[in-house]
Structure 1
Amino acid sequence: MLSMTQLVVVLDSTIVNIALPQAQAELGLTDSARQWVVTAYALAFGAFLLLGGRIADYAGRKLAYMIGMVGFGVASAYGGLVSSGVDLIIARALQGVFAALLAPAALALLTVTFPHGRERNRAFAVFGTVAGAGAATGLVLGGFLTEFADWRWCLLVNLIFVLIGVIAGAIVLSPSKAEGENRYDVAGAVTITLGLGALVYGFSLAENGWADPLTIMFLAAGVILLAAFVWIESRVAQPLLPLRVIADRVRGGALIVQALSGSVMIGTTLYLTFHLQIVLGMSALAAGVASLPLPFAITATAPLVTRLLPKTGPRPLMTLGPILAGIALFYLSLISPTGSYWVEVFPGLLLMGVGMGFIFVPLQNVALMGVAPHEAGAASAAVNSAMQIGGSIGLSVFTTIYVSVLAGVTGAPTAGELTAAYGATFQAAAIGMLAAALIAVAMIRRRTDETVAEAAVATRVPLG
């Protein structure tokens, strides 16, 4: 049941992507506005994840799980019944907020339900496998529902999972929460949420020009609010994110790499979906299946990287991974409006998946090594938040690039013009991945023996 919860949270990161062209046409979304259907979910999820973990620990994990599950269901129903693009974006943001409460509560419940031994290892293996399958499931299920039912069912299908989760949770789960005196860091939660929101919105406005007063205002407000968050965290007794968790050079480098990887996974895969459907003319289901080489390659690469990690240490793997992903993205940037999927897209997706596999396995270990047990939840939430926030910012930047390339186009863009715009976003993503490789070289210096000693512990750290 708890693994199914993680499936729903991950699945909703991809299931709407396939349905977005149809939703955009029906609701009249502009190209600039449509990215917020994805960004709203990722931004709300990432921004509220730290707070969600604290609420689960302090108020009670079962209570947080039940509230998160019901709220997620209500938000999904709202999104499936909307009549305007604005309402859809609001619904997706609400989904993200409740997912941020649901995900850490589910993982914390898994941790206390299976405290040690073989059962714990098996439970986390199942949890991780289901989470890994969520992206692939979302692509195929989203395509199937969009093609044979309606794009709205990509949201309404969540009600089935929610009903099962609520009934099973009420019967099976036992209440638990953190002991001792616990205080919420309200000021920290407000400043980081508003700061990240202002920053992402500022990047999305950059399509009007980086010198536009509104763009500058929101970007400046985001920076000031995030600086205020750091100042608050350095002074409160029970911070939302203890600064020592992210001050470590190696962990800080891992978080930056995670953010850049998130920008690629969330941002470029969306524009690849548009290329498959709008330019190559694939159906929603065919586009979903055509996107599967990426998650499959990540899954297939993970066991190899797991075996290599104790021998090589994380630095070589986290350097090679972004380089491979960057090469794949440069290859994808060469797409043409009449090109073959098997020649122009499939090889790039496969190589990109291998590169991401080389990143994600060592990154999780490095980011969570050396963290004190009472700060493990905050550290793990920071890793997951970096992925979502990086994706939000990346998607806003890629959309700005996409709109800028099409700025001089009058009327509906041709297939060639769309392909040029998509290619430009892939080039920008490739540069980002090469930057991630440089960051890994400069900041990831953990020794191999430390990786061997701590990797097993790191993979079992809870979110909240």
Structure 2
Amino acid sequence: MASSKLDPTVVRTSVAILVGGITVILDSTIVSVALHQLAHDLHATIGTIQWVSTAYLLALGVVIPVVGWLQSRIGGKRLWIAAIGVFLLGSVLCSLAWDAPSLIAFRALQGVGGGAMMPLMTTIIMQAAGGRDLGRLMSVVALPTAVGPILGPVVGGLILGAGDWRWLFLVNVPLCLAGIVLAALLIPADRRGGRVRLDVVGVVLLSPALVALLWGLSNVTRSGGFGRADVLAPLVGGAVLLIAFVLWALRRRAAALVDLQVLRSRPTWAGTALLFLSGASLYGAMLLLPLYWQELRGTDALGAGLLLIPQGVGSLVSRSVAARLIDAIGARWTSVIGFLFVGLATLPFAFADGHTSIWWLGAVLFVRGLGVGVVVIPIMTVAFVGLDRAEVPHASIVTRIAQQVGGSVGVALLAVILSITAASSGSPAAAFDAAFWWATGFTGVAVALSFVLPSRRAVRETEAAARGEEPRTFESADASAGATATATARE
């Protein structure tokens, strides 16, 4: 069982990471409701202004793969503070943008900082915890991931309704400053790995692969869908580069840019697959829900944001009990229950039209939020079960890539389904019904895959090993020292 009291050092580290980390995930969705306003104010076309989101996304794809190497060179604490600083600079410059090209360039700079922060927030806390109390700690780590995409459109709508679009970026400033101060004071200094060689071939293969895949998927939402040249070419090229990287990494093992050997652990590969599906379900639905309120119900960005508040409230409520659920029934059943809530609460939108009761849909969104707040925590918890300290950065990168690409796939597929169904049926309501059916299907697959997660007994045995109750411990950076825990987790 988990210890009754969390290590004060781990608590302080988690608080510092949470304050800084919530900004980057909130920002990744807060701009989504402002594209029309930005196009109007900056005198740009929608096609041009969409690069405000695309540039941010592509910058994430460039940086995420090299975070593990950067951490080994300069240390997690220094890298975290530097990443927040870059994100802060990008936010301030975005608020000062004078036209669309300048805003796009500054958003790319934001993405560089955010791309480093996203996997690093998990790595730092997991390494500080040394495998102890993973459920409770992941309820902290997963807060930005679970709540950010939900609250982003709400906050964005409120800001646009009350003031200028520049505040979409200035709102990051106080959080970033607080995050830097808290990180400097509360995060303990960590060891640096010295002269660790950069896997140049891995960088040349993986970063362009992710950029190509994310770029291709982002273009799917435009007219023509998957038939567009700027969709097919990047997707095919990205897939080829990704396959080449996998073959290279399997040959290089621990010397690779990202050590794919971590996927030999059943908890890690199952958690990675589920994070892909949760990304598709969460981000895909966050494309559909604001559009439903705006296109079928006639609300503006502020109105759509306010109508999505029940989902955010539900997510916050359930997050506080997710760790206790994991202790009581295990990560496997907690994940099953969470995805069932998400799926069952998405289904009513597949039957909704322009006249469905707002109160009924608000209640449904609250239930959906309950599920969203639960599912991420057990998945991220078990993804790190049985890994030693040296493997944690690699697992953080793999899981973050899976969630990011899964989100892009979900958005792309649902956008195409929405467009094709609307064109063939001539009914926007029918198009949304079909898209929400697909979103429900994503969660159905996730429910089935949840049964692959390790049992509560396997997780507890591994946590016991981490506390020194068995000879082999999580904290040892030596591969042989983690062998017993890893073998237990793979059963």
Question: How far did residue 371 of structure 1 move?
Answer: 1.1
- Letter of the structure 2 residue corresponding to residue 349 of structure 1: L
Q: Kindly report which structure 2 residues correspond to 1:18-29, keeping only aligned pairs within 5 A, or say none.
A: 18-27=33-42
* Aligned position for 2:469: none
C-alpha distance in structure 2 between counterparts of 1:368 and 1:425, whole Å: 33
- On the 8 A contact 2:133/2:463 being kept in 1, the answer is no
* Aligned position for 2:414: 398
- On the 8 A contact 1:42/1:391 being kept in 2, the answer is no
Q: Which moved more, 1:114-123 or 1:130-139?
A: 114-123
1:318 paired with 2:326, answer no
String of CA shifts for 1:30-58, please: whole Å, max 9, x gaps. Answer: 77776654454345435532422431331
Question: How far did residue 180 of structure 1 move?
Answer: 4.3
C-alpha distance in structure 2 between counterparts of 1:247 and 1:70, whole Å: 36
* Aligned position for 1:102: 117
Equivalent in 253, 261, 277 of residue 270 of structure 2? 253
1:7 is paired with a residue whose SS is helix
String of CA shifts for 1:338-362, please: whole Å, max 9, x gaps. Answer: 333222x323322322333442232
- On the 8 A contact 1:301/1:354 being kept in 2, the answer is yes
* Aligned position for 1:448: 456
* Aligned position for 2:201: 187
C-alpha distance in structure 2 between counterparts of 1:29 and 1:408, whole Å: 30
- On the 8 A contact 2:267/2:385 being kept in 1, the answer is no
1:79 paired with 2:66, answer no
1:5 paired with 2:20, answer yes
CA gap 1:144/1:212 in 2 versus in 1, 3 angstroms: closer
- Letter of the structure 2 residue corresponding to residue 178 of structure 1: R
- On the 8 A contact 1:56/1:104 being kept in 2, the answer is no
Q: Kindly report which structure 2 residues correspond to 1:276-295, keeping only aligned pairs within 5 A, or say none.
A: 276-295=293-312
Q: Kindly report which structure 2 residues correspond to 1:18-417, keeping only aligned pairs within 5 A, or say none.
A: 18-27=33-42, 37-38=52-53, 40-42=55-57, 44-45=59-60, 48-82=63-97, 88-104=103-119, 134=148, 138-165=152-179, 176-206=190-220, 208=224, 210=226, 215-236=231-252, 237-343=254-360, 345-407=361-423, 417=427
Question: How far did residue 363 of structure 1 move?
Answer: 0.9
Question: How far did residue 226 of structure 1 move?
Answer: 0.5
C-alpha distance in structure 2 between counterparts of 1:124 and 1:325, whole Å: 19
C-alpha distance in structure 1 between counterparts of 2:31 and 2:309, whole Å: 15
Q: Which moved more, 1:358-367 or 1:200-209?
A: 200-209
- Letter of the structure 1 residue corresponding to residue 317 of structure 2: A
1:14 is paired with a residue whose SS is helix
Q: CA RMSD in A?
A: 3.8
Q: Percent identity of the aligned residues?
A: 29
Structure 1: which 5+ runs fail to align? 410-415
CA gap 1:80/1:49 in 2 versus in 1, 3 angstroms: same
Question: How far did residue 19 of structure 1 move?
Answer: 2.7
TM-score normalized with structure 1 length: 0.81
C-alpha distance in structure 1 between counterparts of 2:418 and 2:298, whole Å: 20
- On the 8 A contact 2:345/2:367 being kept in 1, the answer is yes
- On the 8 A contact 2:209/2:239 being kept in 1, the answer is yes
CA gap 1:11/1:32 in 2 versus in 1, 3 angstroms: same
Q: Which moved more, 1:116-125 or 1:146-155?
A: 116-125
1:434 paired with 2:448, answer no
TM-score normalized with structure 2 length: 0.77
- On the 8 A contact 1:310/1:449 being kept in 2, the answer is no
Question: How far did residue 366 of structure 1 move?
Answer: 1.8
